[in-house]
Amino acid sequence: MKYVFIINSTAGKGKAAEEFIPKLEAYTSAHPELDIEIYPTKFAGDAKQYSGKLGYSGEDVSIFACGGDGTLFEVINGAYKYPNARIGIIPLGSGNDFARIFGDREHLTDIDSQVNGTAVKFDLIKAGNQVAINQCSMGFDAEVCANQASSKKLPGVNGEFAYTVSLFYCLLKKFNSDFKVYVDDELIYEGKTIFALCANSRWYGGGYMGAPLALPDDGMLDCVMVKKGFGRIKLASLVNEYKRGEHLKWRETIYLRGKKMRIVSTSPASVNVDGECETVKESTFEILEKACNFIIPSNSNYLQRRESGDLRDEYKGMIKGS
Q: Name the class of domain 132-287.
A: mainly beta
Q: In sequence order, what E strands does 114-220 have?
A: 118-127, 130-132, 135-139, 177-183, 186-199, 203-204, 208-209
Q: Sign of the C-alpha dihedral, residues 314, 310, 217, 2?
A: positive
Cβ distance 144 to 205 under 8 Å?
A: yes
Which residues does 75 contact at the CB level (< 8 Å), separation at least 6?
A: 6, 47, 48, 51, 63, 65, 87
The Cα-based distances of 114 to 64, 84, 102 in angstroms read 8, 17, 12
Q: What is the value of pTM for the model shown? A: 0.91
Give the pLDDT score at 310: 78
| Residue 37 CB-density burial (10 A; 0-12 exposed, 13-18 middle, 19+ buried) | middle
267, 232 Cβ separation under 8 angstroms: no
Closest by Cα among 8, 124, 114 to 66: 8
pLDDT by position in tens, the chain (length 322):
999 999 998 887 778 888 999 999 999 999 999 999 999 999 999 999 999 999 999 999 999 999 999 999 999 999 999 999 999 999 998 778 999 999 888 889 999 999 999 999 999 999 999 999 999 999 888 888 777 665 555 555 565 667 777 777 767 666 678 999 999 999 999 999 999 999 999 998 888 899 999 999 999 999 999 999 888 888 888 889 999 999 999 999 999 999 999 999 999 998 999 989 999 999 999 999 999 999 999 999 999 999 888 776 666 666 665 5
> Contact, 295 vs 303, CB < 8 A?
no
Burial of residue 241 (number of CB atoms within 10 Å: 0-12, 13-18, 19+): middle
Name 71's Cβ contacts closer than 8 Å, sequence gap at least 6: 6, 8, 11, 41, 47, 65, 92, 93
The pLDDT of residue 314 is: 64
Q: Can you say how many angstroms the Cα of residue 145 is from the centroid of all Cα atoms in its chain?
A: 12
Q: Say if residue 157 is exposed, middle or buried (CB neighbours under 10 Å; 0-12, 13-18, 19+).
A: middle
Pairing status of strand 221-227 against strand 260-273? unpaired
Helix (H) and strand (E) counts in the chain: 11, 15
What is the separation, in whole angstroms, between the first and last Cα of the chain? 47
CA-atom Rg of the chain in angstroms: 19
Domain map of the chain by residue range?
2-125+290-312, 132-287
Give, as one character, the DSSP assignment of residue 297: P
Q: Which CATH number fits domain 2-125+290-312: 3.40.50.2300, 2.160.10.10, 2.30.30.100, 3.40.50.10330?
A: 3.40.50.10330
- The pLDDT of residue 151 is 55
